[in-house]
Amino acid sequence: MYTYSVEIRIGSLGEKSFPNAIPQKATGVFTVLIGGAAGDGVRETGASLAQLLADLGFEVFMSFKYPTLIRGGHNYARVSFSREKVWNDHVELDLLIALNKETVRLHTGELKPDALILAESLSAEDEAALGSRAVRLPMADMSKQAQAPAIMRNSVALGACCYVLDLPMEKMNTILGTVFRGKGAQANIALADLGFTFASNAGLRHANMLATTGAGAEISDGNTAFARGLVAAGLNLYLAYPMTPSTSILTYFARTGRGAGVKVFQSENELAVINMALGAAYAGARVAVGTASGGFALMQEAMSHAGMAELPVVIAVSQRQGPATGVPTHSSQADLRFILHAGHGEFLKLVVAPGDPEEAFQCAAQSLALAWKYQTPALVVLDKHVSENMMTCRLNSAVAPRKAQAKAYDPAVGAYARYAAAPDGVSPLTFPGTPGADVKATSYEHDESGIAIEDAALVQAMQEKRFAKREALLRELGDYDTVKTYGDPAAETALVFWGSAKTAVLEAAKYIAKPVRLVQVLWLEPFDAEKVQLALRGARRIVNVENNRTGQLASLIRERTGLAATDSIVRYDSKPFTPLELAGAVNSLIA
Amino acid sequence: MTMELQLETNAHITWCPGCTNAQLLVAFREALTELVLGGTVAKENVVAVAGIGCHGKITDYLQMNTYTSLHGRVVPALEGIKLGNPALTVIGFEGDGDAYAEGIAHLIHAARRNNDINLFVHNNMVFALTASQATPTSPKGFKGRSSAPEGNVEEPLDPLLLMLAAGATFVARTYVGDIARTKEVMKAAIAHKGFSFVDIIQPCITFLDTRDSYRSRITWVEAPAADFPGALRLMAPTGDTVPCGVFYQVQRPTLDEMLS
């Protein structure tokens, strides 16, 4: 195994390795955690607060953590906001809203010195330990008195939160009106008002509240942004079998597909999903599928079929902690190598790993367009962290995506040959239903017309044809931001990362003691070795930061460029990096 | 009929000399020719799909839109093509290994959702292209040369009963040696709106030559039943007869109608 000079494994075993030494007030980031049992509506409550903060012009990041169950367990939504860009939520809390005693117990250790706690109920020990910082907010009693269902007590919390954070109630009411449209909007607004009044009477305004800023931004999770990017590029059909953390893409299309002209179908299993998708692509539909790590494992033979038959399809793979069923609702970046090598045999595929919702939107649209242009599968690698967490973003200001188009068939040229030779390997594409054109696609090696062959020279010629597309694609990607550099591009220390680690790295960078360069490899296949080499040129220390055990990006960079990471920071305990702890780890390396 | 539809390709036919797949190919070419020249479908709107195995070579011998899928995945390929463009007429050719072993889950769900697709199973009751192993329809005791030399211990599956139970709206069996009747059943299946299932007894002359056994035992039913008990009566053998024809046909909304 490759040996780093320093390998830091951040994790949950034993004591935290890097207690942050940064003055907590100095972060300029305010963090609220809402916790309760599964079924308590914690995510929706956090999302309403996040939406309000985004509307008010704050930069917001909301994470949502939940175990693999429907009722019970411990769920929480954590919302960090600031006047400046917040790339990732923080662990350190300014306000804790606890729908049950367990939430208080689990998060007491994360409270900043001047944090407030609003709790449905408090254990005697917690009350003694927390003193006046903890206030009992009788949410259930208040909703009971208002004759509202127990689930609505979260609105009491939101109202109280508005007072504590000095946020305008009328805007919160507008959000509640939208969220509960047609089902209890008025009751929820009334309960929010009770919470606001309670906090006001108790004088619970937080001392360090940030003033509101101005123009609002939208807020989106990565899966929704990915879905919207596909729609922008002209998606016709979305197929899936439910699997966390990709399921909310299916939910998005099931709810909005009809209006957007996207047909949605839930197939009987992942093999059906991908094989249906390839059939649909053959028939001329712009098609995408979504799955998680294990579901993608089931699709491997068809991946290879897509490469051989030159069928365009976009596949979202949202990673979760494995191996096997693993830790289903938790995050991981352990499938980079698996995805890069997906499918047997050698064929052209695109692999891109967006790190936030804006990139998820752009990469979705670009993947569909490029899959069609180069007639091959495109993989968009997500994970629980990117898929489900929400962030302020500007999806609509992104460059307007092109509708996916393929090279058209010109009947004047002669009889249609599905796999006609071309200098760039790209054959004209037409579909069944075209008079005079017989469209023959096949999983066998084939001649230009699509008939199976075994002649060795022809086998080689067809491999050359398909790989010619890779050269053309690599040239085109020269104009894309395949590799992004942030921070100080001349700094001696470079952090390299991919996918969801981006958010923690960029947030941590605010607290790293010396200038560093931050290099994100966005497009992983075709791999732009020149751009990666350029981004890392002159770096004396290269540190890979990845949510996996083996440093998969580091090994890929070594393989493709010869550049070796000197040090490594990895985390593989099913949790994403957190900014201050990561900053602490980097500071310990460069001190 | 004086006009001919050009359905032959320049591909060299590599089935064993005398293979009964050629009879199935002739039946299909004739069925499609009659449907196209009769104005029922336009040739460009028809897609033939195949799986992997001896049967799967059929797409190379058809000059038309074809899609050669993976082993066992003919049904989802058909369903995807139909989802992608509901105006197309999609016809699947699948081996018994594809349909009843590798891909049986897809078969059941396609029948259940009454997708408007057609599936013709080349049921030769043996894995032939891999040189003789038992499939789910191989007779008990069948001595597959390369997997069960002492005889297959499993009971064979009855695909017709399975398809009835799963909700197929057109269930038929033919014997490939009767090209004329096979052609008529194919035409009826294609004309049927909904999931059409045709199990075609297609003896493998190399590894399980049952032609002599079947030839004398095949009987043909007159007209399909529209209820389960009626279909079961039509399917039931009398003595050692092997009834063929369309056993069951009903109308039910198709998947595409329900989605739109």
Which chain A residues contact residue B105 at CB under 8 A? Answer: 268-269, 272
Which chain B residues contact residue A276 at CB under 8 A? Answer: 76-77, 79-80, 83
Judge whether A184 lies within some domain: yes
Q: What is the pLDDT of residues A125-146, one digit of tens each?
A: 999 999 989 999 999 999 999 9
Judge whether A81 lies within some domain: yes
**B109 part of contact set with chain A, CB < 8 Å:** yes
The answer to whether the beta carbons of residues B123 and B159 sit under 8 Å apart is yes
Candidates A95, A134, A89, A132; CA nearest to A111 is A95
Indicate whether A384 and A235 sit together in one domain. Answer: yes
- The answer, yes or no, to whether the previous bond of A576 is cis (omega within 30 of 0) is no
DSSP A70: S
- Tell if the CB–CB gap between A265 and B69 is shorter than 8 Å: no
Q: What is the pLDDT of residues A254-285, one digit of tens each?
A: 999 989 999 999 999 999 999 999 999 999 99
- Tell if the CB–CB gap between B69 and A444 is shorter than 8 Å: no
Cβ neighbour number for residue A32 with a 10 Å cutoff: 27
* Predicted local distance difference test score (pLDDT) of residue A23: 54
Q: Mark which of A434, A464, A494 sits at the end of a domain.
A: A464
Least CB–CB distance from B81: residue in A279, A435, A436: A279
With cut-offs at 50, 70 and 90, classify the pLDDT of residue B2.
very low
- Tell if the CB–CB gap between A451 and B57 is shorter than 8 Å: no
Indicate whether A263 and A387 sit together in one domain. Answer: yes
Provide the pairing of β-strand A59-65 with A72-82. antiparallel
**B101 part of contact set with chain A, CB < 8 Å:** no
ipTM for the predicted complex comes to 0.97
Q: Mark which of A359, A393, A427 sits at the end of a domain.
A: A393
Segment A468-488 mean pLDDT: 96
- Minimal-distance CA residue of chain A relative to B67: A441
- Tell if the CB–CB gap between B80 and A279 is shorter than 8 Å: yes
Indicate whether A418 and A379 sit together in one domain. Answer: no
Whether the CA torsion A338, A504, A387, A399 is positive or negative: it is negative
Residue B47, helix vs strand vs coil: strand
- Tell if the CB–CB gap between A279 and B45 is shorter than 8 Å: no
**B68 part of contact set with chain A, CB < 8 Å:** yes
Q: How far does the CA of residue B90 sit from the closest CA of chain A (Å)?
A: 10
Indicate whether A376 and A431 sit together in one domain. Answer: no
Domain boundaries, position A511? 6-11+481-590
* CATH for A83: 3.40.920.10
- Tell if the CB–CB gap between B83 and A263 is shorter than 8 Å: yes
Which chain B residues contact residue A415 at CB under 8 A? Answer: none
Segment A63-88 mean pLDDT: 92
Q: Mark which of A147, A167, A201 sits at the end of a domain.
A: A201
The answer to whether the beta carbons of residues A558 and A564 sit under 8 Å apart is yes
The answer to whether the beta carbons of residues B156 and B137 sit under 8 Å apart is yes
- Domain count within chain A: 4
Q: How far does the CA of residue B8 sit from the closest CA of chain A (Å)?
A: 12
pTM: 0.96
Which chain B residues contact residue A277 at CB under 8 A? Answer: 80
Q: Which amino acid is at A432?
A: P
Indicate whether A430 and A388 sit together in one domain. Answer: no
Segment A389-411 mean pLDDT: 85
Candidates B48, B50, B137; CA nearest to B100 is B137
Which chain A residues contact residue B59 at CB under 8 A? Answer: 440, 442
Domains of chain B: 21-259 (3.40.50.970)
Judge whether A63 lies within some domain: yes
User: Could you tell me if residue A507 is left (phi over 0), alpha (psi between -120 and 50 degrees) or otherwise beta?
Assistant: alpha
The residue that leads in pLDDT, A10 or A462, is: A462
Whether A120 shows a pLDDT value over 50: the answer reads yes
Which chain B residues contact residue A432 at CB under 8 A? Answer: 44-47, 65, 81, 85, 88
**B55 part of contact set with chain A, CB < 8 Å:** no
Candidates B162, B186, B205; CA nearest to B246 is B186
Whether A228 shows a pLDDT value over 80: the answer reads yes
**B58 part of contact set with chain A, CB < 8 Å:** no
Indicate whether A389 and A303 sit together in one domain. Answer: yes
Q: Can you state the percent helix, strand and coil of chain A, rounding each to 5?
A: 40, 20, 40
Which chain B residues contact residue A272 at CB under 8 A? Answer: 76, 79, 105-106, 109
Least CB–CB distance from A276: residue in B47, B79, B87: B79
